[in-house]
């Protein structure tokens, strides 16, 4: 079984002894301390913990948006601590889709244009972009909203557009940072259900960060709890 039709086999994720120290002049923040964990390919995993416990830092490292200060992160054959900037960008295009809490949609663009945006950077032809954007919007249940701008969509619909955008490259791993943080509990539950479908129906690894463990405890096969940068 392949999780992904983009030619990349499903990939296990492993963090070994990962620490992240942010420097602020003379002061330093140890956002992650000696974190080791594995997420097998195709698993639905959740990361929970209080504000400031290092959840977003962990997700950023797995997305190769940043490098660990110490330790190794491996996704399939990719060794994230050793990638150059160019390789990090290539890794992000091929291996991960990222859903941020704040949607990050362009207000002047329609849902279809927002979803197609990363494909412009990846060099896809206009017809292909349009078709793939519509396909991904259909996957998240928004086939009839492709021409709406963000202000013409509900919060939950905007979040689903952000999920669709993360799926355009057909990545084996989907990362979501507080995808329900701006939604009421019912709409948030619908977004978690959508992520669960993406995991179960498409065989992708899904890693969700949340404050609310009760929201994901049914869906998640594994829950990692962070406190002060450490797994507990
Ligand atoms: N770029 C940065 N520079 C310096 N310190 C940072 C930076 N990013 C995060 N931190 C610090 O690292 C710690 C962990 O931050 P992180 O964003 O990972 O927490 P979080 O668990 O995602 O919190 P929240 O639930 O509030 O989003 C915090 O104490 C934060 O202040
Ligand atoms: Mg965070």
| Closest atom of ligand 1 to CA, residue 49 | 21
Pinpoint the alpha helices (H) of the chain: 55-62, 85-95, 111-121, 126-139, 155-167, 185-202, 213-216
Instruction: Tell me which of 3.60.130.10, 3.40.50.300, 3.40.1790.10, 1.10.3720.10 is the CATH number of domain 41-67+85-231.
Output: 3.40.50.300
**190 C-alpha to center of ligand 2: Å?**
21
CB of 200 closer than 6 angstroms to any ligand 1 atom: no
What pLDDT score does 68 carry? 97
Please list the ranges in the chain whose pLDDT falls under 70: 1-9
Distance (Å, whole) CA 155 – CA 164: 14
CB of 31 closer than 6 angstroms to any ligand 1 atom: yes
**66 C-alpha to center of ligand 1: Å?**
13
Would you tell me how many other CB atoms lie within 10 Å of the CB of residue 57?
22
**60 C-alpha to center of ligand 2: Å?**
10
Q: Whose Cα sits closest to atom 12 in ligand 1?
A: 31
What pLDDT score does 6 carry? 53
Q: Half-sphere exposure of residue 191, counting CA atoms within 13 Å on the CB side?
A: 32
What pLDDT score does 110 carry? 97
C-alpha pair distances (Å), 44 with each of 17, 97, 195:
22, 14, 9
The ligand that comes nearest to the alpha carbon of residue 65 is 1
What pLDDT score does 183 carry? 85
What pLDDT score does 25 carry? 87
Contact between 144 and 157 under an 8 Å Cβ cutoff? The reply is no
Contact between 204 and 3 under an 8 Å Cβ cutoff? The reply is yes
C-alpha pair distances (Å), 182 with each of 57, 157, 185:
20, 12, 9
């Amino acid at each position: 079984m392949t999780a992904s039709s983009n030619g990349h086999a499903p990939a296990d994720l492993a963090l070994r002894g990962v620490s992240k120290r942010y420097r602020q002049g003379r002061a330093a923040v140890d956002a992650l301390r000696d974190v080791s964990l594995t997420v097998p390919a195709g698993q639905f995993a959740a990361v929970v913990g209080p504000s400031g416990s290092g959840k977003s830092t962990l997700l950023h490292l797995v997305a190769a948006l940043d490098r660990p200060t110490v330790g190794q992160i491996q996704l399939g054959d990719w060794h994230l601590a050793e990638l150059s900037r160019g390789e990090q960008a290539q890794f992000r295009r091929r291996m991960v889709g990222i859903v941020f809490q704040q949607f990050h949609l362009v207000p002047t663009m329609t849902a279809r244009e927002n979803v197609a945006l990363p494909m412009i950077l990846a060099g896809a032809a206009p017809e292909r972009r349009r078709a793939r954007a519509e396909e991904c919007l259909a996957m998240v249940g928004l086939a009839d909203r492709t021409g709406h701008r963000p202000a013409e969509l509900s919060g939950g619909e905007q979040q689903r557009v952000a999920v669709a955008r993360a799926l355009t490259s057909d990545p084996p791993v989907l990362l979501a940072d507080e995808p329900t943080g701006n939604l009421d509990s019912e709409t948030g539950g619908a977004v978690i259900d959508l992520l669960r479908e993406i995991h179960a129906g498409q065989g992708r690894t899904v890693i969700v960060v949340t404050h609310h463990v009760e929201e994901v405890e049914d869906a998640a096969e594994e829950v990692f709890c962070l406190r002060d940068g450490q797994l507990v």
